[in-house]
Chain A
Amino acid sequence: MAGGKSALVLCMDVGFSMSNSAPGEEPPFALAKKVIQKFVQRQVFAETKDELALVLFGTDSTKNPLDQDGQYQNITVHRHLTVPDFDLLEEIEHQIHPENQQADWLDALVVCMDLLQTETQGKKCDRLNIVFLTDLSTEASSDNLDVIIENVKKAGITLQFFLPFPLEDKEEGDGERTGSGDPGRGKGLSREQRSGLEMVKHIMLSLDEEDGLDEIYTFRNAVEQLCMFKRIERRPMTWPCQLTIGSSLSIRIVGYKAVTEEKLKKMWITVDAQTNKKDDVKRETVYCLDDDNETEVQKEDIIQGFRYGSDIVPFSKVDQDQMKYKHDGKCFAVLGFTKKNLVLRHQFMGTQVVKIFCARDDEHAGVAMSALIRGLDELNMVAIVRYTYDRRSNPQVGAAFPCIKPEYECLLYIQLPFMEDLYGRQHMFPSLENNKKIAPSETQLSVVDSLIDSMMLVADDENEELRDLFKPHHLPNPAFQRHFQCLHHRAVHPDSPLPPMESWLEAALDRPEVIKERCQAPLEEIKKLFPLTEVEKKKKLKTSAQIFGKDSEEPDAKKAKEDEAEEEFNLADIAEGSVTSVGSVNPARDFRALIKQKTLPFGEVCQQLTHRIEQLLSNKNMQYYMKSITCIQAFREQSVKQGNADLFNSYLQSLKRSIPSRALEVFWDLLVQDAVTLISKDEVEGSAVSKNEASQFLLAEERKEQPAPELVEDTGDVDDLLDMM
C-alpha cells in the first residue's frame, strides 16, 4: 500500500585487496565507488523518501555498535539510516579511500542487519535491503552461516551482491549476459574468492531458490545501468466513477492516468547573484493606466473584465461564478458509438491517456466491462463519451477505445476536439500529386524507396522475431538526464563550467550505427536526384528571429502594438539624414527634414512639397486627404518658422480657388475643421494678410451657396498652380 518506503544499507569493501587490479584496468575499488555514487545520485534527485545507510568494511579503524571483545573489527558505520543528500555524495567523493585492512564480509553483513533492525524501529518501512560491494578476497568464517540466513529470512531482508567478476566462469562462451572479456577477473579467482563465491551462491539460493542468482551483478554492468538518472515515478491515483449508457445501464469503473507528459517537479527560484539568497530578491507587480504618466493604480481598484470582440465587458469574479456553465460533476457517460476509423489519430486532444478498468473487487462490473470492451473490439467501434473529472473541472468529449491484453482488458480514453478547437485551422493546401511541376519521377521515387529500405528500424530477425532498433518510449527523457547531470556537477564542483553532454545520451538520441551506415548510399543518390537550393531571403534574419524569438513572455497586445509602430520606425530611420527630396511616403516628414538640412533653397523644397500635395489630392480618397492636410500643416509651420509667408499664402489661395472645379469640397471641409488658414501679419512680419482677413478666408468658404469668387480666372489647372511657385 501507499506510504511505505524502503531502507537500504550500502555495504562496501574498502580493504586493501580492492585496490588490486590487472594493468590497464580500473581497480575494483574505483568501480565500486562509482556504483555507489551513481546510485546515491539517483536517489537524491529522485527525492525518494527511501532511507539509506553506508557501512564500510576493511577500514583501519572500527566504529560499529557490535564492536566488543575484538569482535566485528575493521567495520565502520559511516552513515546511519537517513534520506540521502549532497553531504553524503560529497563524503563519498572526498572521504572514502581504499584502506589497508581486511574484514570478514559476513561480519559486515551482521552489522548491516543489526543496523537495519535497530534503526527502522518505529518507521514504516516495507522493504529492507542490503547491497554488498566486495571482491570476496577475505576468508569468511562460515560457522554461523545458517543462523545468519535464517535471520535474513525472518527479518524479510533482501540482498544484492555486486562483484568485480561474473558469477559463472564456465559460461564464458555464452557471451552476452556476462559480457565478454571479463575484466576484473584478472588471473582467475583466488582460493578465498572461490569459497566466498560459493557462500554467496548458497545464501542467495536459500533466500530465493529460483531467481536468487539474478541479484548478483558485476560492477561494470551496474555502472552502465546506473548512468541514467532514475525515471520519475508517480503513483497513479484512482478515479472511481460509473460508466453510463442511458439512464438505466451503468457499470462501476475506475480510471488511471496512464500516459502523460511528465514534468520536473521543481521550478527554478531566483536568488541574488552576490549572496545566493532567495530572500534578498523580491518581485513586485504594479498596475498602471495606459496614459503618458503611467499613473499607478491600487490593486483594490482593479476589477476584471473580458473581451468580447471589440468590446471590453467588466465581469466580476462573483458574477462569473454565478453565471458560468454548471454541471453535475464527475461522469463518464456514453453519447453513442461510432466506427473506429471515424476518430482520427491526429485529432486527439489533451495531454493524457486514461485507462478505464472495472471497479476493483467487483466481478460483476468486470463482466459488464468485458462485454463492452469485447463488443466494441469485435465490431471495430469506439464509444464517444462525455468525461468530467469532477465538479470543478470542465467537461470533455472523448473516445474510449477497447484495449485487450493477455493480462487485462480496459478502455483507453482520449480527449477529442471541440468545434472551437478546430475553427479556422482546417486549411486547404495545394495538391502535391496533381502538380506536374513538383511531381517526383519514377526514378526519384525508387531512390526514396531504397532509402526507406535502408532505414527501416524494425526488422525481421533470423529468429523470425521483430527487432526494434529505436524505441523512444524506452528512453528516459533526455531533458531530465541533462538537467540532473548539470545540477550534480554544479553541486559537487561549484566553480567549474557545465560539463558536456554525456556520450551515452548523445548516442541514444542519434540514429543507430547500423542505420547510419546502411543509409549512406541511398542518401548520396537522393542528393544527386533531388536538387535542393536554399532561396535567398533578404529578411531572413528577421523572420527567423521572430519565429523563434525569445520574447515570448511579452503580452500579445504589446507585440501587436510594436508591429503597427514598426513601419513608422523604419521610415524614421530612413528619413534620418538620408533625405534628398520630398518623397511620396511621408512627404511632411521629408519636407521638415530637408528644411532642417538647409541643403536646398526654401522655395524649392516648398515646390517639391506642393507637387506631392497635388499628387495626393488627385486620388479622391480620405487617406490621401489626411496626408495632404498634414503636408499643408507642415508647410504652414515651417513657413512661420522661416518668416516667409508669401509662398504658403499664395499656394493656399490658389488651392481654394481650384476647389469647386476639382470637386475637392470634402477635403476643404477638413481643412476648415483643422483651421488651417493664411499666415497673418501677426505671425510673420512680411505677410500681406491681416489677422481678420486670415480668419475670413475660411469663413467665406462656409457660405457655400455663394457663387465662387470672380478671382477664378484660371480653372485651377494643376500645372498653373505649380507655376505660381
Chain B
Amino acid sequence: MAEWNAFYQNEDEQQEEEEAEFSGGDYKVSGRDSLVFLVDASKEMFIKGEDGQPSNFDMTMQVVRSVYTSKIISSHRDLIALVFYGTEQSKNPRNSFKHVYVYHDLDEPGAKRVQEVDALRREKGAQLAAQTMGSGETSLGDALWCCANLYSDIKLRLSHKRLMIFTCRDKPHGGDSAKDRQARTKASDLKETGVFIDLMHLIKPGGFDVSLFFRDIVSPPEDESELGLQMKPCNKLEDLQKRVQARETKKRALARLSLSLGDGLNVAVGVYATAVAARKPLAIRLYRETNEPVRSKTRTFHTQTGSLLLPSEIKKAQVYGKKQIVMEKDEVDAIKKFDDPGLFLIGFKPMEKLKLHHHIRPSVFIYPEEDEVKGSACLFSALLKKCSERNVFALCRSIFRRNYPPKFVALVPQMEEVDEGRVQISPPGFNVIYLPYADDFRTLDPPRCPSATQTQVDKMKEIISKLRFKYRSDAFENPVLQQHFRNLEALALDMMAPEDIEDLIMPKVDQIDQRLGSLAEEFKDLVYPAGYNPEIKPAPKRKTADAGGGAEKKPKVELTQDELKAHFQNGTLGKLTVPVLKEACKQFGIKTTGTKKQDLIDALNSTLTS
C-alpha cells in the first residue's frame, strides 16, 4: 500500500515535469488575451422563448457567466469586458456615448464580477437590467467606438483582441443608413487595430439574415472554407456556449517543430494540447500583516564560509554502489541531449498495432504551420489523407524540447468532421500518442479465474443495456476543483457558506437501482452462491491487522546501531522501512529534511561514511 501511495506522489511530479516540458509555449511572447462581450439590451432580447425557454438575454448572461468562471480557473490573467448597447441609460468612462452601458470595463475577472453577472440572470436579472439600464435607442457605431476606447485605455500589452456581439436583431438601426455607415466605419477601425469581431447571433422570429448588415461588421473568417460555417443562429444554450467557447480562446502552439521525413524533407508543424489536466493553482504566499504577496529568493551558499556559490562552483552528483559520481552541471544536461527538437519519421504501421494500453500521458495534436515552411500544409494534408485512407499511423521519434531524451509517438490521422450545423467537431490533423518503453511495463501475475457461462454473460448484458448512456467528454466537472473555487468565491465575497456543488462523477445510485429493478438480484443468483457477501473480506486476519496495524507495528521500528551498520556495509539500507530509517536517523542524531526513503538513506549513508 505504501508504494501505491508513493506512486501517487510521483504522479504529481510527473505532471509537473510534463507541464515543464510544454511550459512557456507562445504565451510569453504574446502578452494577454482580451475579450469584450458587446450585448444587445434592446427589448427584443428580453422576449422569452417558447415553452419556457430562457430569453436571448438570459441565455447570453449564462454564457458570459460561464466564461467568467472558466477564465478564473483556466486563465485568470485574461481581460474581459461586458458592454451593453441599445440601453436607455448610459455609463461609459467619459460618458461621451449615449445608449452604451459599460457594465464591466476590461479587467481580470474576479468574484465580484461573477456576482454582478449573476444578478442579471433569470427573471430577476431582466428586472434589474430594466431598472439600471433600460432599453433605448441603438447606435452600434457608438458602442463599437466605446469598445475601441476600452482597448486603448489598457496599458498592458494585449496579444489577442476579440469582440463578440450578441444580438437577435439583424437590422439594429432599423434602416437608418447614416448609423449603419458609422457602425461600419467604426468596425473597420477596430479591425484595423487588430480586434477580431465575431457575431453570436441569436434566434429571431423569421430568421436572422446576416447579409443585411452584420456581414460587413464581423471580421472575415480565418480561412475561406469557414465562410458560411457559422451562418445559423444559436437557439440553444449549449450551442451558444460551444460556439463562444470555441472562439473565445486563441489557439496557441506549445511548440513549433519540424516533422522530418528524412533526407532534408521537413514539414513545419505546430503542437497543440487538446486536454491538459486542470489542477488547483499553487497557493500564493502572503505577508500576514498586509496580505500582500511575498516573493521567494533561493540562494546557494557555502556552509563553512557562508559565501554565495556561483553556478561554476557547484557540481552535481549521484551515488551508486556506494560511490559518489560527480559531473559538471552542463554534463548533466548533455547526457539528456540526443538530438535537436523535432519529429522524425521511422515508418508506418497498421492502426491495429496501436494498443489501447500503450498509454503513458495525454496526447497532443499537430497541425501544419504554413508560416514557417511554405508547402507544409500540402504535404501534411497528403500524408493525413493517405494515412487515414489506408488506416495506418506514422511512428515517429520525437523530441519536444531541447535537452529532452527521445520518446516514440504514434501520429494517428484525424480527418475533419463537422456537425449538421457545419460546426467543426474535430479538426484535421494528427493526434500524437506517446508510446511506452519496455521499462514502463510492470510485470504482473494475473490471478487465474474461471470464465462465466453464456447465461451469466447474457444477464450482465441486460444490465449493461439498462445502464447505457451517451458519453460526452465535457460532461463531468471536477468536483475537487469546483469546490475549491466555490470556497474561494465564498471567501472573496464574504458569503456565509460556499455554494453547493453537484458531484457529477458520483454514481446516481437510486436511479441505477431503479433502472435495474430485479436484474441485480437475478445476476447475483446466477454468479454468487447463497450466503456469499462480496462486501465482507474473506480474510478476517487481515482485517484485524488493518485495524490494529498502527499500534502493532510501532515496536518494530527500532534497530541496534550494529544492525544498522551491518545494513550499511552490505548496502541493504534500502530494505528497511521508512519508519525504521527515521528512527535510525534519530539515533545517529541526523536531522533530515526529506521524508522520502532515498533522502533518509542518503542521509544515513553520508553520516556512516564519514
Contact = CB atoms under 8 A, between A and B. Distances in A.
A675 interface: no
Interface string A445-480: 100110110011110000000001110111111111
A439 interface: yes
B24 interface: yes
A394 B7 CA distance: 14
B11 to A, nearest CB: 6
Contact of B535 (A242, A303, A414, A455): A242
Given A248-B521, A511-B347, A315 B295 contact: no
Interface in B495-551: 498, 501, 503, 505-509, 512-513, 516, 520-521, 523-524, 526-529, 532, 534-535, 538
Contacts of B608: none
22 contacts: A86-B323, A237-B1, A249-B520, A281-B309, A304-B283, A310-B108, A334-B467, A335-B508, A338-B470, A345-B431, A368-B456, A368-B534, A386-B505, A420-B278, A428-B427, A430-B222, A468-B349, A480-B439, A486-B331, A530-B265, A552-B24, A564-B156
Question: Which of the listed residues A44, A251, A350, A351 has the most CB atoms from chain B within 10 Å of its own CB?
Answer: A351
A543 B226 CA distance: 29
Nearest to A405: B446
A231 B439 CA distance: 5
Given A371-B459, A449-B386, A337 B464 contact: yes
B144 interface: no
A285 interface: yes
B420 interface: no
B210 interface: no
A303 B439 contact: no
Interface stretch (B55-63, B118-126, B332-340): B332-340
B24 A549 contact: yes
A444 interface: yes
Question: Which of the listed residues B362, B471, B526 has the most CB atoms from chain A within 10 Å of its own CB?
Answer: B471
B484 A477 contact: no
B300 A257 contact: no
Given A370-B450, A396-B505, A432-B381, 19 more contacts: A245-B467, A245-B516, A261-B14, A297-B287, A311-B112, A312-B293, A336-B468, A338-B471, A345-B412, A381-B464, A423-B278, A429-B428, A430-B222, A448-B385, A479-B336, A534-B372, A547-B24, A548-B24, A549-B24
Contacts of A475: 408, 437-438
B221 to A, nearest CB: 9
Nearest to B358: A473
A401 interface: yes
Q: Which 9 A-B pairs have the closest CB atoms?
A: A366-B449, A479-B405, A430-B223, A85-B321, A472-B408, A429-B427, A346-B431, A246-B512, A375-B460
B320 A86 contact: yes
Contacts of A247: 509, 512-513
Contacts of B524: 248-249
B378 A338 contact: no
Given A245-B512, A250-B535, A473 B527 contact: no
B523 A371 contact: yes
B211 interface: no
Contacts of A426: 245-246, 274
B53 to A, nearest CB: 23
Interface in A163-194: none
B442 A448 contact: no
Contact of B303 (A232, A259, A282): A282
Given A85-B321, A286-B296, A312-B293, A325 B439 contact: no
Contacts of A284: 298-301
Contacts of B489: 308
Given A334-B507, A509-B406, A305 B283 contact: yes
A348 interface: yes
A285 B277 CA distance: 29
Contact of B295 (A290, A431, A526): A290
Interface in A220-250: 231-237, 239, 242, 244-250
A390 B5 contact: yes
A541 interface: no
Given A44-B321, A419-B474, A563-B28, A260 B7 contact: yes
Question: Which of the listed residues A263, A427, A483, A544 has the most CB atoms from chain B within 10 Å of its own CB?
Answer: A427
Contacts of B363: 345-348
A273 B437 contact: no
A105 B37 CA distance: 88
Interface in A374-402: 374-376, 378-379, 381, 384, 386, 389-390, 392-397, 399, 401
Given A47-B574, A547-B24, A289 B153 contact: no
Interface string A338-368: 1100111111111111010111111111111
A533 interface: yes
Q: Is chain B's binding surface mostly helix, strand, loop or mixed?
A: mixed
Contacts, number: 765
A269 B317 CA distance: 5
Nearest to B607: A279
Interface string B565-598: 0000011101100000000000000000000001
B425 to A, nearest CB: 9
Size band of the interface chain A makes with B: 35 or more
Interface residues of B, number: 257
Contacts of A47: 320, 574
Interface string A308-321: 11111111000010
A333 B441 contact: no
A315 B491 contact: yes
Nearest to B96: A620
A370 B79 CA distance: 54
Contacts of A234: 3, 442
B175 interface: no
Interface in A526-557: 526-527, 530-535, 537, 543-544, 546-550, 552
Q: Is chain A's binding surface mostly helix, strand, loop or mixed?
A: mixed
Contact of B275 (A349, A438, A515): A349
A282 B341 contact: no
A265 to B, nearest CB: 7
Given A248-B521, A445-B385, A530-B375, A564 B534 contact: no
A307 B284 contact: yes
A567 B157 contact: yes
Interface in A513-533: 515-516, 519-520, 523-524, 526-527, 530-533
B294 A622 contact: no
B320 A487 contact: yes
Contacts of B459: 371
A395 B223 contact: no
Contacts of A384: 469, 471
A700 interface: no
Question: Which of the listed residues A245, A284, A369 has the most CB atoms from chain B within 10 Å of its own CB?
Answer: A245
A254 interface: yes
Nearest to B151: A623
B235 interface: no
Interface stretch (B133-141, B165-173, B199-207, B249-257): B249-257
Interface in B266-320: 266-267, 272-278, 281, 283-289, 291-304, 309, 312-320
Given A248-B520, A304-B286, A343 B382 contact: no
A381 B462 CA distance: 13
A519 B265 CA distance: 12
Contacts of A439: 378, 381
A403 interface: yes
B360 A309 contact: no
Contacts of A258: 357, 441-442, 444
Interface in B171-208: none
A301 interface: yes
B560 interface: no
A572 to B, nearest CB: 16
B347 A515 contact: yes
Interface string B396-408: 0100011101101
